[in-house]
Amino acid sequence: MSVAERGRVRLCHQNERSRADRLVDLLEDVGSLAVVCHDNPDPDCLASALALKRVAEYASVWDIEFVYSGEVTHPQNRVFVNLLDINLQKVTSDAIDGYDCVALVDCSIPGRNNSLEPETEVDIVIDHHPGHEPSAEFVDLRGDYSSTTTIIVEYHRALDLPLDAELATALLFAIRRETLDFLRNVTEKEYEAALYLHPFVDLNLLKKMNDPPLSEITVDAISNAIQTRTVQSAYLVATVGRSTERDVLPQAADYLLDLEGVQTIVVFGISGNEIHVSGRSTDSRVDPGGLLEEVFGDVGSAGGHEDMAAAQIPLGLFTDVSEEDEDLIDIAVRIIERRFFRAAGYEDKDIPGRPR
């Protein structure tokens, strides 16, 4: 390692210690802490919450609750919660006012993919998703990292906090899951965090987290996506139809991304009064987040990373159609296919019909 490289490492460690100390200083004056997870929390969000709890306990904060809205529906996420016995509380935005301190993990803006009202004042924000700088006393927003867990692991290292096997396993699994086993957008920071965590990991527990059984709902959703797929060159659109579990969408998208010749995918489903969309791409020229924003930004919300994205669209006028009416799905398919393929550069005459 060169002198310059050693200097950068020392500066990095000093910066991490400074960030960690500032966080601890803030927490030392706190009696109660609400750690707000995003809707439908995944392992990166949940592990980050667990790790932040340890930092708060180091600062002598003992009244700590994990709060969220939505549902934990993905089989792997449910297994994660059950194995670690994570106590998640559904708390109204009014109840949030009763905490001395409010922290957002793996999300950064009140009201965006979390249960808070947009005007809620938050004290701590820790996130790896790129976006607007949030308003909070402590903000650690690193769009160049691949997981929020990695950021909080660095706090643990800087503070030299003790690490037990259960927490280490949760943190390593979260990093692996968020980076698709170190294959998606991984940075040297994720490798450094994994190297730090590995000696403490319980490999049997890690295997249990990694191999959850597939539910019938997931199998049916993937089957529906396969049957309804429409392909144009390297682009694919499919629907899972109606589903009570939003987490089947990324699972179906990941599955279809293995189809030969396909590089960019949109899979959508209808849940309640919203259409939920999951996007994936292995094409370095395609930004899924930007693509979904272009396709759905005028009718809903969208965002994502370099190779994955999501969107939500209110059903609007379609809500008058009964839940048993397949016309709703057919209308949604036609509109989404047309918008998606147009954004990909195809004219209506070039868009193929769906398999029946």
Residues 6 or more apart whose CB falls under 8 angstroms from that of 201 comprise 165, 168, 169, 172
Round to whole Å and give the CA distance between 170 and 201.
Answer: 9
- pLDDT of residue 213 exceeding 90, the answer is no
- According to DSSP, residue 343 is labeled H
Q: Extract the tokens encoding 144.
A: 């160049």
- pLDDT of residue 9 exceeding 60, the answer is no
Query: What's the Rg (C-alpha) of the chain?
Result: 21
The tens digit of pLDDT for each residue in 260-315 reads 999 999 999 988 788 999 999 988 888 888 888 888 888 888 777 666 788 888 87
Tell me what pLDDT residue 345 has.
Answer: 85
CB neighbourhood size of 296 (10 A): 24
Round to whole Å and give the CA distance between 301 and 250.
Answer: 17
The tens digit of pLDDT for each residue in 108-146 reads 989 888 878 888 999 999 999 877 778 899 999 998 999
**CATH assignment of 216-350?**
3.10.310.30
Answer with the residue of higher pLDDT: 311 or 21. Answer: 21
Percentage of the chain modeled with pLDDT above 90: 53
Average pLDDT over the chain reads 87
Answer with the residue of higher pLDDT: 346 or 35. Answer: 35
Question: What Cα–Cα distance (Å) separates residue 315 from each residue in 144, 248, 319, 335?
Answer: 34, 19, 6, 12
The residue type found at 306 is E
The residue type found at 288 is P
Answer with the residue of higher pLDDT: 234 or 303. Answer: 234
The dihedrals phi and psi of 47, each to the nearest 5 degrees, come to: -65, -40
The residue type found at 19 is R
The answer to whether the CB of 248 falls within 8 A of the CB of 217 is: yes
Residues 6 or more apart whose CB falls under 8 angstroms from that of 108 comprise 125, 127, 129, 131, 132, 134, 139, 141
Highest mean predicted confidence (pLDDT) among 11-25, 88-102, 179-193 = 179-193
- pLDDT of residue 2 exceeding 70, the answer is no
Answer with the residue of higher pLDDT: 285 or 61. Answer: 61
C-alpha angle with apex 252: 248 to 253, nearest 5 degrees? 120
The tens digit of pLDDT for each residue in 174-199 reads 999 999 899 888 999 999 999 999 99
The stretch 16-23 carries a mean pLDDT of 90
Domain topology for 3-210:
inorganic pyrophosphatase (n-terminal core) (3.90.1640)
Indicate the domain borders of the chain: 3-210, 216-350
Tell me what pLDDT residue 39 has.
Answer: 85
DSSP string, 74-126: SHHHHHHHHHHT--EEE--HHHHTTSSEEEEES--STTSSSSS-TT---SEEE
Burial letters for 2-40: b for 16+ Cβ neighbours within 10 Å, e otherwise?
Answer: eeeeeeeeeeeeeebbebbeebbebbeebeebbbbbbbb
Residue 4's pLDDT band (cuts 50, 70, 90): very low
DSSP string, 180-209: TTTTSS--HHHHHHHHHHGGG--HHHHHHH
Round to whole Å and give the CA distance between 277 and 62.
Answer: 39
Tell me what pLDDT residue 324 has.
Answer: 54
Tell me what pLDDT residue 164 has.
Answer: 97
Look at residues 145, 121, 150 and name the one whose alpha carbon lies nearest to residue 135: 121
The tens digit of pLDDT for each residue in 237-251 reads 999 998 888 888 988
Round to whole Å and give the CA distance between 252 and 225.
Answer: 7
Strands 63-68 and 32-36: parallel
Residue 216, Cα to own-chain centre: how many angstroms?
23
The answer to whether the CB of 309 falls within 8 A of the CB of 267 is: no
The tens digit of pLDDT for each residue in 143-165 reads 899 999 999 999 999 999 999 99
Answer with the residue of higher pLDDT: 224 or 320. Answer: 224
Residue 318's pLDDT band (cuts 50, 70, 90): low
Tell me what pLDDT residue 6 has.
Answer: 39
Residue 323's pLDDT band (cuts 50, 70, 90): low
- According to DSSP, residue 214 is labeled P
Round to whole Å and give the CA distance between 283 and 338.
Answer: 21
Give the least confident one: 19-23, 32-36, 91-95, 186-190. 91-95
**Full-model pTM:** 0.75
- pLDDT of residue 172 exceeding 80, the answer is yes
